Structure 1
């Protein structure tokens, strides 16, 4: 007989299957009314030394996904980091709250409140795409102490999103208008808007089965469609008025245009201690070249300890 796993004290969502509780994710209700869902990945050394000692000697990492992503995207990135890793669902994504406001100051405020709630002092913040601009915004707001920044394939500039994101929303809205029972049927619709099966699977990961057997988007497509201009923007315009002097590793895909060479001078004015790690990939760095990404991050963090 399977033993019933004890539930941790953290507020959490779970489902009951015969004789077993399976922990899916935890949630935190923030003082601004937003609820953020997250996974906490604890390294193996926890059992030997205790989580408290581990946190004191290895500050935690907070990992943020990109637009249309979720905490699930970063599970494989926690290996070899040897410290607690919080993988968050940002607002309007995954299992977190939906809210009409979706811009970088709002996303950064959510993250600030999350760090304060969990008493995460001087964490390393890693974010891809939308998550990259979120962690850079948080650093420049300078309201909570952080140790290191690792933005992945985005720069602190106003730059139009690749037109693919507009196509994604068109395809997703088309699916929303159709009665879908099988993910393969949704994929057939999305093929008209995106050729890459890996990107389609990434987007389709946001579908959830309803009690009536149909599949619907878990994310608010209309809100995120309306927020595309905000996601292209960056809230800080003048490096003379806002600058963060801490260590920054900018990881960029060499086949992507989001951190072009001509953007590096502006990046350096906002973040004068930034270093650059090039990975031979497109925009989806962590999924296209996960080992190369992990190696770059682990080696860089080792130098900072």
Structure 2
């Protein structure tokens, strides 16, 4: 699969994978900040997201294989792998499937465990938007408001909306496949092994995604890991506390 990506900077290769409903465009600003620290940053759209190809399936082993193919296509030697949420699960799964094929892992606000489906309302809201007759983004936002009260979350979700050449709206995300595979997206890692490479887990102080009771599992699977709690941040650590996020990342990598 030929994944879409944006690259900035020169230096040690660092790959960023976004979370569910996201894209590499969400990481443009912070990618430039990271690149200024001496890294060649590759922000990648995962399958069924952004400008990357759509597929009929969406599992972590497949996402890890997509990442491996991307690394080979770009000729990258043991890159640093960073992923947020779903992207964090992808880089952890990659570590299980491709030992010794990377230098460091950075996992942002996700744990190596299964999660209950909690995006049902968002999916219902996205499916309720009538693309064929939709006139504007503001109309889509008004419809989505009945399913998602947060204006910032709605803005994030509606970044996936674009106009076709004929003027009609369409989704960049593969909404039917994501909807059909939402339980799989919450699944645990498969073919688990102990990962000895240096790993940083970043979690938001206000987020419930990485709990204290997850720490023994993290330490068991990733014995060479540290956990950094970012004060004042919830799940969107990099957006809510960008300076602390970059400082934690650079300190770990140095």
What band does the TM-score fall into relative to the shorter chain?
A: over 0.9
For residues 169-184 of structure 1, the aligned pairs below 5 Å read 169-176=123-130, 179-184=133-138
- How far did 1:76 drift? 1.5
2:7 to 31, 40, 43: 40
Number of equivalent positions: 250
Q: Does 1:102 align with 2:58?
A: yes
Unaligned runs of 5+ in 2: none
- How far did 1:211 drift? 2.4
CA–CA distance in structure 1, aligned partners of residues 146 and 107 of structure 2: 31
Question: Cα RMSD (Å) of the superposition?
Answer: 1.4
| 1:158-178 Cα shifts (integer Å, max 9, x gaps) | 1214x2x21111110001466
- The structure that has the greater radius of gyration is 1
For residues 220-231 of structure 1, the aligned pairs below 5 Å read 220-231=174-185
Runs of 4+ off more than 4 Å = none
2:155 to 201, 218, 222: 201
Q: Does 1:298 align with 2:250?
A: yes
1:287 to 225, 234, 239: 239
1:93 to 46, 49, 53: 49
Which residue of the partner structure matches residue 116 of structure 2? Answer: 160
Which residue of the partner structure matches residue 70 of structure 1? Answer: 23
- How far did 1:290 drift? 1.4
Asked whether the 8 Å contact 2:132–2:169 carries over to 1, the reply is no
2:14 to 61, 64, 68: 61
Q: Secondary structure at the match of 2:200?
A: strand
Taking structure 1 as reference, are residues 234 and 176 closer, same or farther at Cα in structure 2, changes over 3 Å only? farther
**Structure of greater relative contact order (alpha carbons < 8 Å, 6+ residues apart):** 2
Which residue of the partner structure matches residue 190 of structure 2? Answer: 236
CA–CA distance in structure 1, aligned partners of residues 191 and 210 of structure 2: 17
Asked whether the 8 Å contact 1:244–1:270 carries over to 2, the reply is yes
Asked whether the 8 Å contact 1:176–1:216 carries over to 2, the reply is no
When structure 1 is superposed on structure 2, of 182-191 and 143-152 the one drifting more is 143-152
- TM norm structure 1: 0.79
| 1:218-256 Cα shifts (integer Å, max 9, x gaps) | 211110011111111023375xxx111010010001211
Asked whether the 8 Å contact 1:183–1:215 carries over to 2, the reply is no
| 1:127-183 Cα shifts (integer Å, max 9, x gaps) | 00000000000011125510100000001111214x2x2111111000146621210
Q: Does 1:248 align with 2:204?
A: no
Unaligned runs of 5+ in 1: 1-33, 44-53
- TM norm structure 2: 0.94
| 1:90-115 Cα shifts (integer Å, max 9, x gaps) | 00000001001101000000001111
CA–CA distance in structure 1, aligned partners of residues 227 and 27 of structure 2: 21
2:214 to 253, 258, 263: 263
Taking structure 1 as reference, are residues 247 and 144 closer, same or farther at Cα in structure 2, changes over 3 Å only? closer
